[in-house]
């Protein structure tokens, strides 16, 4: 058995957690990939909401606590977080960055690979076009996973798309012989 086939076979099953970070709403999803060819199973998908009237630290703490619980409950092997789209709203960009940071911190604290993926890259991988809208991404997500439906939130379908994109990038890493890929694992 070649080194590459040993590396690939040791990856299964692979559970990837995707996170669509936001201070008001953070979507998350975990897909389980049993092999390189089968459609993945949707293990969980939900959103975390926080009240804008409570202090920032409490909001970030709530998101971190729930992410920690989900990680312990479903034991993902990797976490992928959507990197932010740099728009004109600096305050919004900063809050997304804070949620992204605590998401990657949760990965690190649990010894997991953490990966950032840009929104355009997610859309290109999942929908075939970096300019796809949220409905197109959602439809392509449903076509690529073992699930009859997804909750109606775009935060959740985006998180599931992030899982699919991370899996595609992880397969590339494995093929190229890079066991850690572009994700951080310490």
Is residue 112 assigned to a domain? yes
**Residues recognised as catalytic:** 20, 82, 155
Residue 102 domain flag:
yes
Name every residue whose Cβ is closer than 8 Å to that of residue 144 and which is 6 or more positions away in sequence: 39, 40, 126, 164
User: The domain that contains 55 carries what CATH number?
Assistant: 3.30.420.10
Domain that holds residue 135: 3-175
* Residue 72 domain flag: yes
Residue 46 lies in a domain: yes
Number of domains in the chain: 1
Domain assignment of residue 186, yes or no: no
pLDDT in tens, the chain (186 residues): 333 333 444 577 899 999 999 999 999 999 999 987 789 999 999 999 999 999 999 999 999 999 999 999 999 999 999 997 666 678 788 899 999 999 999 999 999 999 999 999 999 999 999 999 999 999 999 999 998 888 889 999 999 999 999 999 998 888 888 765 555 554
Q: Is the pTM of this model over 0.85?
A: yes
Q: Is the peptide bond before 48 cis (omega within 30 degrees of 0)?
A: no
Q: Would residue 181 count as lying in a domain?
A: no
Interatomic CA distance for residues 102 and 100, integer angstroms: 6
> Considering the domain boundaries, does residue 180 fall inside one?
no
Q: Classify residue 183: in a domain, yes or no.
A: no
């Amino acid at each position: 058995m070649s080194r590459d086939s040993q590396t690939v076979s040791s990856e299964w099953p692979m559970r990837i957690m995707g996170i669509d970070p936001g201070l008001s709403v953070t979507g998350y999803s975990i897909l389980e990939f049993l092999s390189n060819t089968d459609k993945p199973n949707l293990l969980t998908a939900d959103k975390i909401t926080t009240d804008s009237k409570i202090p920032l630290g409490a909001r970030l703490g709530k998101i971190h606590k729930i992410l920690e619980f989900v990680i312990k409950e479903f034991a993902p092997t990797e976490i992928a977080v959507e990197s932010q789209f740099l728009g004109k709203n600096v305050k919004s960009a900063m809050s997304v960055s804070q949620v992204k940071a605590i998401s990657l911190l949760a990965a690190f604290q649990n010894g997991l690979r953490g990966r950032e993926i840009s929104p355009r890259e997610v859309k290109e991988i999942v929908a075939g076009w970096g300019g796809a809208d949220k409905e197109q991404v959602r439809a392509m997500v449903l076509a690529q996973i073992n699930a009859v439906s997804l909750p109606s939130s775009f935060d959740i379908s985006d998180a599931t798309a992030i899982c699919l994109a991370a899996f595609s990038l992880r397969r590339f890493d494995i093929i190229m012989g890079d066991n850690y890929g572009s994700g951080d694992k310490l």
